[in-house]
Amino acid sequence: MMSLISIAGLSVRFATRSECVRAVDTVDLEIARGDHLALIGESGCGKTVLGMAVMGLLPENALIRGTIRYRERDLLQAEDAEMQRIRGKEIAMIMQNTASSLNPVIPVGIQVSEPILLHRILPAKAVQAEAIRLLGAMGFDLPERAACRYPHEFSGGMQERILVAIALACRPDIVIADEPTSGLDAEVKSQILHLIKKQMADRTLLLITHDLGTARFLCTRVAVMYAGEIVEEGPAHDLLSLPLHPYTQGLLASLPSAGLHPIPGMSPSPSHLPDGCRFCSRCPSATARCSTEHPRMSVRGARRVRCFHYA
């Protein structure tokens, strides 16, 4: 299958006054056209940084290495102007925090129209109608009314829908969704997930989340990140029902439905990463080799694992 986005050897470091934070470390990832890939991991594992790297939204003090190939271009080498053209139009992002992602003093309709106007997709007159149509498609009952209201007048679920509308405004090929259902109630979460699933039917999706259920529902492929690396990757159904990497196994076992078995210890700080396998100190099947040598990715059919037990 042709790869739409090809991430090779991506490393992102942040230099602070006292230390060097290795947020993402040598990540290789292929996203094919039409893929729905979930990037799973806990806070601090680097998944959001990875998403931001693809969008070119990392801050000035980020030291980035590697390549992100998209349509014959390396996004990391692209000029600002080119990235601005791509952002929103070809690759769009549904941001994480509804409260801070929507401008509180601008009516919703204008915020949805903004990407359309910026990328000059439609003539100015048609933009308003398109924005209203989009809001309607997102499930707003009276989109013309909704477009005149302000974000704070809507509930969390509706705000999330607005964010989805903004992301889809220019009909991008690729959508990166960063924790689209954080903070939402069970029912609303379900509605939003169904909405996203429907809208992503003929698009490519990169879902960033820590919620295994969301990943399972929306995606066909899953990549698990831990301490800045991808430790396991494969088809969603296979990976989640038969996890290979001890971390993935531990994650699944700590679900309430599986008995709330905790993974002992804590994930390493990104500024003090251990030599050898980063999961070693918490791994029930660690060997002597694990603490000294750093495992590489091994391939097992359609799956990849970063663990000596499968080397």
Distance CA(20)–CA(30), nearest Å, equals 27
Min CB(215)–another protein separation in Å: 10
Per DSSP, the residues of 108-162 read HHHHHHHHHHHTT-S-HHHHHHHHHHHHHHTT-SSHHHHHHS-GGGS-HHHHHHH
- Asked if 209 contacts 40 with a C-beta cutoff of 8 angstroms, the reply is yes
User: In sequence order, what are the beta bridge partners of 230?
Assistant: 225
241 binds another protein (CB under 8 A): yes
Query: Which residue lies nearer to another protein by CB, 96 or 204?
Result: 96
49 binds another protein (CB under 8 A): yes
240 binds another protein (CB under 8 A): yes
Going by C-alpha positions, the residue among 175, 158, 13, 217 that lies closest to residue 88 is 175
43 binds another protein (CB under 8 A): yes
| Contact residue for another protein among 115, 172, 250, 295 (CB under 8 A) | 250
181 binds another protein (CB under 8 A): no
216 binds another protein (CB under 8 A): yes
128 binds another protein (CB under 8 A): no
Min CB(221)–another protein separation in Å: 15
Distance CA(279)–CA(267), nearest Å, equals 8
Q: What sign for the dihedral angle of Cα 272, 177, 95, 89?
A: positive
162 binds another protein (CB under 8 A): no
Residue 276 tokens read as 């050898």
Helix ranges (H only) for 174-267 are: 186-199, 212-218, 236-241, 246-253
Applying CB under 8 A, which part among 114-122, 134-142, 255-263, 298-306 lies near another protein? 255-263
11 binds another protein (CB under 8 A): no
100 binds another protein (CB under 8 A): no
Min CB(49)–another protein separation in Å: 5
Distance CA(205)–CA(33), nearest Å, equals 9
Going by C-alpha positions, the residue among 9, 15, 40 that lies closest to residue 27 is 9
Residue 311 tokens read as 């080397």
Min CB(163)–another protein separation in Å: 19
| Contact residue for another protein among 243, 268, 276, 295 (CB under 8 A) | 243
**What x-and-dash track marks residues 267-286 binding another protein by CB under 8 A?**
---x----------------
Q: Which residue ranges make up the site for another protein (CB under 8 A)?
A: 14, 16-17, 21, 23, 42-49, 59, 61, 185-187, 190, 210, 212-213, 216-217, 240-243, 249-264, 266, 270
